[in-house]
Amino acid sequence: MAVLGIVGSPRKGKRTDKLVEAALQGVRSAGMAARKVYLIDYDIRPFCGSGGSDDAFGLGPRDLSAMCGEAEALIIGAPVYWGDINGLTKDFMDTVQTPDSNGKPALGVAIAGGSGKGLLSGVQSIYHFFYHRQMRGIDPTPVSRFNMEEALAGLMHSGARLAEAARQRERFPGVGREERWPEVLAHYTTLDYLDDGPLEEFLMLAEQLLELSADGRGKADLDMVDRARIEFEEALDALEAGRTEDAARHAVGCYQILYF
Ligand SMILES: Cc1cc2nc3c(=O)[nH]c(=O)nc-3n(C[C@H](O)[C@H](O)[C@H](O)COP(=O)(O)O)c2cc1C
């Protein structure tokens, strides 16, 4: 029994690697074996054929597909480039074969390590992959520079939960892919962040910056934190009143006061 951790960043030892490693530590702490691979070590190419997904499967490195098939659960970590997962991770997803993926537990983490923008759209892309392969996604983990410490701690727990889910793997019921969609879709409606858009993303980043700055971990002084908090509260009020355009302006306002 082993969980496979997949690092989608070409940079070994950097943020994506550290986040995947934290989840793998959680897996090991729950008594399950864990293994890590780096996509950059494989010959992964974009699908440039004229056929469909069956043709694309043939393109992925066979040993990588075999490892994904044998793994009891998967962890995918990807860096965010321009608001989405990087091309290497996407090309892997397009071409990898994942035999016996029904209900396989899966955990995804996306790190938007610059402005933070794209942390939600990035993690959503990873869960689109899990959903379409009918895996059982758990704990979507969006990460920026501002919540990195909290995310590392959270991933230890998620890794342990993943190991537990792997031990008691729950396949989606139904004969064949089509019959399974009602339960697959029902499961994905229960996960956090998958329905959020850019406004929720800015609110999330603003909240992360507020927390960090209030703890003295940011660059802002107390006056800036107070001004930012007012912007944040105005964003929430506007959102509640259905004034989404105002909510957007105030959410960005809070973020811009505290950004470093
Ligand atoms: C081409 C490119 C585009 C990027 N776009 C974004 C972005 O949209 N949002 C963001 O927060 N960071 C962005 N970044 C920064 C990366 O997310 C950041 O460097 C991250 O730490 C990369 O993961 P790694 O450290 O594991 O390599 C971008 C980096 C590159 C190279």
Question: Do 162 and 73 meet the contact criterion of CB atoms below 8 Å apart?
Answer: yes
The phi, psi pair for 57, rounded to 5°, reads -55, -40
Q: How far is the CA of 113 from the centre of ligand 1 (A)?
A: 5
Instruction: Render each residue's pLDDT in the chain as its tens digit; 260 residues.
Output: 699 999 999 999 999 999 999 999 999 999 999 999 999 999 999 999 888 888 888 888 999 999 999 999 999 999 999 999 999 999 999 999 999 999 999 999 999 999 999 999 999 999 999 999 999 999 999 999 999 999 999 999 999 999 999 999 999 999 999 999 999 999 999 999 999 999 999 999 999 999 999 999 999 999 999 999 999 999 999 999 999 999 999 999 999 999 99
Cite the DSSP H helix spans in the chain. 15-29, 53-57, 62-70, 87-95, 119-132, 148-167, 177-188, 198-214, 222-240, 244-258
Q: How far is the CA of 192 from the centre of ligand 1 (A)?
A: 23
Look at the pTM and tell me if it is higher than 0.85: yes
The phi, psi pair for 89, rounded to 5°, reads -65, -40
Which residue's CA is minimally distant from atom 6 of ligand 1? 81
Spell out the domain ranges in the chain.
2-188, 198-258
> Residues lining ligand 1, judged by CB closer than 6 Å?
9, 11, 14-16, 79-83, 111-118
Which residue's CA is minimally distant from atom 20 of ligand 1? 113
d(CA 121, CA 140): 11
Q: Considering only the top CATH level, what class is 2-188?
A: alpha beta
Mutate to test the pocket of ligand 1, among 80, 152, 208 (most ligand atoms within 8 A of CB): 80
**Closest-lying ligand 1 atom to the alpha carbon of residue 79:** 23
